[in-house]
Amino acid sequence: MTHFSHHVLAINQAADAILKHKVNSLQVIPAVAIKLLRLTHDENANVGDLSLLIETEPTLTAKVLRNVNSAAFALTHKVTSIKRAVNILGFSAVRQLALNQLFYNKLIDHKSKQQFDQLFFWQHCLFVASLSRAIATVLKHPDPDLIYTAGLMHDIGKIVLEAHGKVSYSDFILACKNDEQPTLLGEQDFFGLNHAEMGYTFCQQWDIPEQISAIVYCHHELPDDNSPFAIYKRDIAIVNFANYIAWLQGIGSIARNNPPELHSETSKYLAIEKLDLETLLNHVDREMQHTREFYGIQFPNINRLRAALVQTTLLLSTHNKRNSNARIHTDDISITSLTTPHKSLISSEIVPWTLTVIQKDFAFERLLMLDINPKQRSLAATYTWPETLDKNSLQAFSVKLDELPSTILSSLRERNAIIINTHNNKNSSILKQFGVEEFLIVPVLSHNRLVALLYADKHKTNTPMTEYCVNQILPIIHELGVALANAKRFALEKKRAELDSLTGLLNKRMVTDCLTQTFELKPEQLSKVAVGFIDIDFFKKFNDTCGHQAGDDVLKIVAQIMRTLTRPSDFIGRYGGEEFVFVLRNTDKQGAYSYAERIRQEIERKGIILSQRFQGHTLTVSIGVSLYRPDFTNYQEMVEVADSAMYDAKHDGRNCIKIK
């Protein structure tokens, strides 16, 4: 059995565990809609087949004809039969009308006061479907209608969980109130699988065409080359992009402030920079206007300036290929310059050392590493040569990306180094801000992703820079990018070795290290330390009754709550089994109790919400806290007192806190 087959088996089991009924017995979308989807991929299907299928549903027939005869199609004569409608409008248009009507009737045609707004969800799906098809048409995709259907269904997993989960998607949104945003990882912790996996399971069980199933499964993350869905990468990229644009416009499937990430390979398959976004979005606007009028729903108005805003955002999140035409000369570069980036696996050493050797080779008078902050959409100097540069002077280099001239933005898109000088009037503002007549910008790439910019100038002597100098520096910056990627990988592996693989919290070894370091603090600091033990009540019941996967999910839920409610200066970790530890610094008895009580209450609250998922078992914890005393000679004594307090909480009825 392949790795993917194992994964599919696991998500099928997770789906069965979280749903009230088996997936193949759920009527999430009408049977007629399923038949329409299958009919699309039947090479022998004809007008008669489509007409007959729609006409078997009298209500559907009436609504499709009403739509066909609406002002949107501006027909001169009234159409009274489905077959006539197909002949006039075409197989594709009528099939789309029928699908839209069926989905709307089943998913949306009722009032909902839940956290998960199904009307908002429907608007999102229509927008993604419409934009996906428009893009597919521009790209000359052989079947834009299939892409439309995939866009319509991409988030079907959310509807399945909302309508048929033992705990609903509304429950998930409600449970996220203390988190920043609902995420795929949050879904995984809450349900045992995310909405894309739930959607794929539904498509698989209901024999939805593989191409659509693949898009549903991968619409947030393009598959790797070894995936069975790799052949559909361009199709998936289209829906991934349309979904991203929908969120940028505030047309998400749920209330969420930030859009999902645009996958790094999406640009590779779509050539995003060449798409006429204004035309595409205007086309979608017209389709959505028709939908709003027909269904009587409200949809956000979108103005023409939107396309420019989207294009600017895309410059920050898409990753185009490097310019392959740049000639690189290494004749005059010292071997030291090329090897220095690889002398360490720590970024804070790699960058300063590399800046130093670049200065030596090229006699630059000022060098800066400008990191890109994607959230603030700005540049900031993180490392400099010389290191003694005045901090006030560096403020000039904290620049919003939107404020950069088009000359620099163009070089970022193309991954090119560029000399910025007075030869182009567009550069005057940035040159004045930096206080120079000329400077060099070189993109620093890691795995072909833009991670930073190297800035260099000769602001004292104003010695002109040459293209030859640019070509000379490129191989050094290439090695710097490779070294930074290695450093990042090393940091991740190091972090992985420090974390519990299931919960992502510190493992027991690291908790022990933290406790050891804590007991090396000065007495006045130690007097403000508290150590706590958290133990899940009746944990064995979750394992025995609901299975070990449920037990793992419970551990992850507790870990996530602790992570959310803990200050960066404090430590939390998994001590083993169902036990967790926290180490609080700069606190007192009241502060330690308040922290423990917030955790206890939040776990109890989420436990009540999730009780149906865990067959009636309510998740709670018992917490024991130890406050530092001068008679403690080592951390083990303090841990033992906290452990003893936790057992006192168990004996007092559980779901409570004891402090010693």
- Contact between 237 and 222 (Cβ < 8 Å): yes
Left if phi > 0, otherwise alpha if psi is -120 to 50, otherwise beta: which for 53? alpha
623: β partners:
534, 657
Q: Show Cβ contacts of residue 147 under 8 Å, excluding neighbours closer than 6 positions.
A: 132, 133, 135, 136, 141, 215, 235, 238, 239
> In terms of C-beta distances under 8 Å and separation of at least 24 residues, what long-range contacts does 391-395 make, across chains too?
394/368
Catalytic residue list: 578
Residue 442's Cα: distance from chain center in Å? 28
Identify the CA nearest to 208 among candidates 266, 152, 166, 134.
152
CA dihedral 16, 17, 21, 22 (to 10 degrees): 10
CB 199, CB 96: distance < 8 Å: no
Q: 380 forms bridges with which residues in the sheet? A: 371
Q: Are 154 and 215 in contact (CB under 8 A)?
A: yes
CA–CA distance, 150 with 215 (Å, rounded to integer): 6
Q: What whole-number distance in Å separates Cα of residue 110 and Cα of residue 345?
A: 58
Q: In this structure, is the dihedral angle defined by the CA atoms of residues 581, 587, 588 and 594, taken in order, positive or negative?
A: negative
Cβ burial of 380 (10 Å; 0-12, 13-18, 19+) is: middle
Which H or E element spans position 34?
Answer: helix 31-40
